[in-house]
Amino acid sequence: DIRFLIYPQDLPKHEKKNSSQIDYIPDFVLEQLFEHINDLHKDLIPVVWIAFKTGLRISDVLTLQNNCLAKVNGKYSIITDIAKTFVKGHRIPIDNKLADIIAVLIADSKSKSTKDNNPNNYIFAIYKGKRKGMPFTQHMVRAHLNHLSKTKNIIDEQGEIFHFKTHQFRHTYAVKLLNGGADILTIQELLAHSSPEMTLRYAKLLDDTKRKAFESVIDQGAFSFDVDGKIKNIQHSSELYEKA
């Protein structure tokens, strides 16, 4: 039997992704995405905006209900339950533009919905066919995004067509909060992480970003001055040891 001629170690191995690597969408790609956002299927444009501006998992975006929008003291929030971490009534602040988009979705959902075609009052409901009453699928969102990427030549910094994954929007939200100065506890709360472990991965990314920025400044000689205020080349430690 040929099965006994092949050992597990002989099978090709998939390259494991670094667990500390954060797969987010860089600004270089975001600029292209939003330049062409209106070429995405019209029903999926608000899905992208909500995912980008709230950091919700795509599964939670697609199951938002028509009571998800709240206004307190003139400020809007999305209120929803988080399925993965069993958080009830999770509140995420949003801006007025996103609130306007969601208000339109809610009104549209209420006008089209019945107990038969949308019993759970989803704002991204499928109203007919085999999946009647169910929300849009993650596959649908991902497929349309990558079709847009190919047809509009949305590329990464290496010139390759960018491959979108829906969870990247959540990572992007966290990275932008960190780069904007938000603290870890605030980000943990906004993302509804059950523990700080995942949130701290974003902090590691920020540390790396800060380090690269610092090294870039060092390479430009920003801290290399002599007592007369003139630029001075500092010897590398290896050169110092050679002369010692």
Q: What is the pLDDT of residues 110-129, one digit of tens each?
A: 999 999 999 999 999 999 99
Three-state secondary structure call for residue 202: helix
Domain 19-193 is of which CATH architecture? Orthogonal Bundle (1.10)
What CA–CA distance (Å, rounded) separates 91 from 77?
A: 6
* Neighbour order of strands in the sheet with 75-82: 69-72, 75-82, 87-93
What CA–CA distance (Å, rounded) separates 171 from 175?
A: 6
Q: Band the pLDDT of 188: cuts 50, 70, 90.
A: confident
What CA–CA distance (Å, rounded) separates 221 from 219?
A: 5
Q: pTM (2 decimals)?
A: 0.76
